[in-house]
Chains A and B, each alone.
Chain A
């Protein structure tokens, strides 16, 4: 597909950046904010939507409830009765309030004068209470990126949700370790107009957050949600983009999806004259089970053996629509199938644009067409399942198809690893927010402002100069400044410099890791702890800095025990080195006698082959020159 012209399309993107704060304890209790996978107990719960004063249940909440799942909570050490929803929340964590205040000030935002904690209904079980506690701390402001001011709408402080361990048809298992970890949520205005700009803005905000030195590092600690719309489209929420590099691709795909859906609408309503009435008149789900009695489709057969039925329905004048590609690997049919999967619990659907296929024969297709009275310009859909779910699925399909005449449904989509997205749930309504009455309002007083001064992020240019003053080259200092490991770098410098020079630390974090990646190593297993371990070994003089890239590469490829691996590379003492050098000289005495000083390179090469990674080349050269002097020359 050719790239769309985003300015013509009226692309508008807003970001919601969620970043975990590295506070000493959680937002509403005294448990620490670490990750923890040793459990001492578990709980089983169910959630149900509460009814609002209007008697209306929030649509997103109801939707989760209909799924009727059991939630199992595993209790790690860093969870207490507050996470279990068995004790009211404590007062809001002031350290977190201070950090968010500092960030708000550096984004030129206006602080509220008093903070009100709200409850946002979330009943997918990820919050034991059935709601997420969240509060707006500041409004307005901007961040400047490449000379453009991107508006900030709100800055909120909220509690993170539980971590999902497993999910199946009947129950979801969660770990309570992450529940209650403070999160800052920064929402930008829809001021972003290209996919690439979105990535830059997300990066700039992430960098600012890291500059406070008070945010968590590692996978899952920062999440980007995107709000994307084009002219004539609707604001679609895309949740859970964990990798920054995916942001532009996801936006391109979403813009394309909305663009194609609008084209489908035009095709259906303008060209083909399809109306709501026409679809509804023809929407007569029919039991077609008998046609498939002796089918060769394993998929269908398996279901029929379980007592499932096959239903089909004609969609008039829809030929080609289901096969219409909306984005890479996703057709209109895929969209409808996702609705079916999520809302009815069936595995999906078959549509006429893809049949015969999946073992369904041409003969069967012809019979279906005949039974449903499908003509050349029509389409049909088949669903397989038990009666209750079929009904739900058929209603879902009808509603989604009708929406094709209107354009784009309001929905929340989940980001996928390949840069595409899929339907997750309908967008929540406004009924889901109400006050958290267990927590009194908190004034932003001078105490909080004072606290915030400790966390004010430094300006990048000042930081850059600081890094260069530490001895980093401009190139390395810039790389460090833009690195997600900036605060790890500062932490390590504080702990291990001057004995280990800051440029060595920066090289390990930036240069060595890139090397490992370029050699095909899996850098995801090189955690902050592993990196710190390397620096610590340097500090203790146990390894040489030249050995670090090799150790990391081997570790990332073999995933061996890092402690054992390090032994192989442990540094050898000067005496040991001298012995080796002497031995090599002895073995090659003839060459030295023949070539004199020119034999140096030969000796160097032989010694290095024995000690590579255990001692620096410079040192080897020194010792060789010294020891060679002891031998006669010709």
Chain B
């Protein structure tokens, strides 16, 4: 019986012994309509969704149907099982899929998008990848980016190591975009030594549409995984709204800065490692301080999830710190105002927390720029209370780093030391004026 119908429409289907996929002929208002019963995605329970011969879907209220007859029983759709094949040994680039819409297939009747990342499917989708590298693909899991968890990061990190250990030149990790930057940081801290690039990639327009950014992002990612000289965790996404080039960002310095644009991912307080021209299939290296390839892969993936990211706002009560301490939180990253502040009312709360061995680190909700807690009295006061300024680290990067550090160290001084150690470029000691976006006020003003 139907899984997507409920209430009146379900009663109607039961009464006439109908189900999704059946071709029916119904009479409404004297008009005879023929079509296939589709799964419902209506918010009303009286609506039957019908696909007409011309491909259109329409919603018909069962209350308005005067006659209905079955024309043809629908065939049970067999969900084709995509066989999980062992990763081949001789692949140059291995694509690990974790979910998201980067390469997904549309169910044309329901419009549902499902991941499709077998090697065959990818190559069918983008035959030109063959011209770049021998690839192999593995669907590790298929979860929406917002449902990602630290335990999955560990699995991805191990899978990346396996792939590189098998001789792949590089690895591509397909991931939903919402939390991709968190995963990138987690992998960056976990993969202590790499023999090749790890390229995380996603898409902002799902691959079921002709305008998807997925093909270009995926193709350039395979190219980077195979040919780039660096061995670090990166994110490769569209560099601008046009289909011209992608940017390879350092995983710990990248942030999704727009809800929907193709070029949502941008390096913050940093410049990208490389620019990749899609048509020309050319990688342009933008800096030479990248992490070099090592002889072996080493993974150290452990995370303590007992942390909290606290965004300060005017009026926030310090009681929250007590609450967090009671909940067993071992570390807090504060996203403070400006140079790294909360109200001075937090002094006592932070003092109590740090005394208790809880790490409190300060980042800025400005995102751009470095925190500096020496300029104003409040900053100095908070430092006195034990709050550690975390340079120019992004709040999310600092949070993931703290999870990783706390899984390795419990001593507060050691934690502090590790948090301020620049492991993979998460701290940029030098900011130049160009590391800040400018908005095009003049272009759009009074046209």
Name A's B-contacting residues (CB within 8 A).
Answer: 38, 40-41, 43-55, 61, 76-77, 81, 84-88, 110, 112-116, 118-121, 123, 128-131, 134-136, 139-140, 154, 156, 430-437, 440-441, 443
Q: Report B-chain residues with C-beta under 8 Å of the C-beta of A134.
A: 56
Can you name the residue of chain B whose Cβ is closest to the Cβ of A121?
A: B210
Cβ-defined partner of B60 (8 Å) among A53, A76, A86, A112: A112
Instruction: Knowing A113-B47, A431-B108 are in contact, say whether A77-B447 is a contact too (CB < 8 A).
Output: yes
Please measure, in the bound complex, the distance between the C-alpha atom of A134 and the C-alpha atom of B56, giving whole angstroms.
Answer: 9
A130 to B210, CA, bound (A): 5
A-B contact pairs, 7 of them (CB 8 A): A76-B447, A114-B44, A116-B56, A139-B58, A430-B54, A437-B112, A441-B59
CA distance A156 to B52 in the complex (A): 13
Residues of A within 8 Å of B262, CB to CB, are: 86
- Enumerate chain A residues within 8 angstroms of B55, measured Cβ to Cβ: 118, 120, 430, 432-433
Contact B59 A435 (CB under 8 A): no
Inter-chain contact A113/B59, CB cutoff 8 Å: yes
Q: CB-CB < 8 A to B447: which residues of A?
A: 38, 40, 76-77
The answer to whether the Cβ of B270 comes within 8 Å of any Cβ in the partner chain is no
Given contacts A38-B447, A116-B58, 7 further A-B contacts (CB under 8 A): A50-B210, A53-B105, A85-B205, A86-B261, A88-B260, A110-B31, A130-B211
Give A139 to B113 CA distance when docked, in angstroms: 29
Which residues from A are CB-within-8-Å of B443?
40-41
Bound Cα distance from A371 to B379, whole angstroms: 93
Is A52 touching B106 in the complex (CB atoms < 8 A)? yes
**Inside 8 A of B109's CB, which chain A residues have their CB?**
53, 434
Interchain CA distance A131-B31 in the complex, whole Å: 30
Q: Is B348 an interface residue (CB 8 A)?
A: no
How many residue pairs, one in A and one in B, have C-beta atoms under 8 Å apart?
144
B76 lies within 8 A of chain A by Cβ: no
Q: Is B110 an interface residue (CB 8 A)?
A: yes
Cross-chain contact A139 with B242 (CB below 8 angstroms): no
A40 to B205: give the CA distance in the assembly, Å.
24
Interface of chain B residues 340 through 376 with chain A (CB within 8 A): none
B29: nearest chain-A partner, CB-CB:
A110
List the A residue with the shortest CB-CB distance to B262: A86
Q: Determine the distance from Cα of A123 to Cα of B212 in the docked complex, in whole angstroms.
A: 12
Known: A136-B52, A154-B54. A51 touches B59 (CB 8 A): no
Residues of B within 8 A of A156 (CB): 56
Known contacts A114-B47, A118-B56, A433-B56: A81-B210 contact under CB 8 Å: no
* A51–B211 touching, CB < 8 Å: no
Say yes or no: is B327 at the interface (Cβ < 8 Å to chain A): no
A53 to chain B, nearest CB (A): 5
B81 touches A (CB below 8 Å)? no
A113 near B61 with CB under 8 A, answer yes
Q: Find the residue from B28, B41, B56, B440 having the highest chain A CB count within 10 A.
A: B56
Which one of B56, B244, B260 contacts A44 once the chains associate, using CB atoms below 8 Å?
B244
Contacts of B64 in A (CB 8 A): 113
On chain B, the residues within 8 Å of A61 by CB distance are: 210
Query: Which of A113, A129, A139 contacts B211 (CB under 8 A)?
Result: A129
Contact A437 B59 (CB under 8 A): no
Residue numbers in B under 8 Å from A136 (CB-CB)? 52, 56, 58
Tell me the B411-447 residues at the A interface (CB within 8 Å).
440, 443-444, 447
Q: Which of chain A's residues have a CB closer than 8 A to the CB of B244?
A: 44
B67-106 interface with A by 8 A CB criterion: 105-106
Q: In the docked arrangement, what's the CA distance between A238 and B329, Å? A: 69
Cβ distance A304 to chain B, nearest Cβ, rounded Å: 31
CB distance from B113 to the nearest CB of A (A): 7
Measured in the bound complex, the distance between the Cα atoms of B55 and A437 in whole Å is 15
Is B208 interfacial (CB 8 A cutoff)? yes
- B211 & A47 in contact (Cβ 8 Å cutoff): yes
B261 touches A81 (CB 8 A): yes
B42 within 8 A of A: yes
Contact B209 A50 (CB under 8 A): yes
Known: A61-B210, A114-B42, A116-B49. A135 touches B56 (CB 8 A): yes
A114 touches B59 (CB 8 A): yes
B57: CB under 8 A from chain A? yes
B residues 25-42 near A (Cβ < 8 Å) are 28-31, 33, 41-42
Q: Given A45-B243, A130-B209, do A114 and B107 touch, yes or no (CB 8 Å)?
A: no
Chain A residue at minimal CB-CB distance from B120: A55
Cβ A46 vs Cβ B47 within 8 A: no
Residues of A within 8 Å of B113, CB to CB, are 437
**In the bound complex, CA of A128 to CA of B243 (Å):** 12
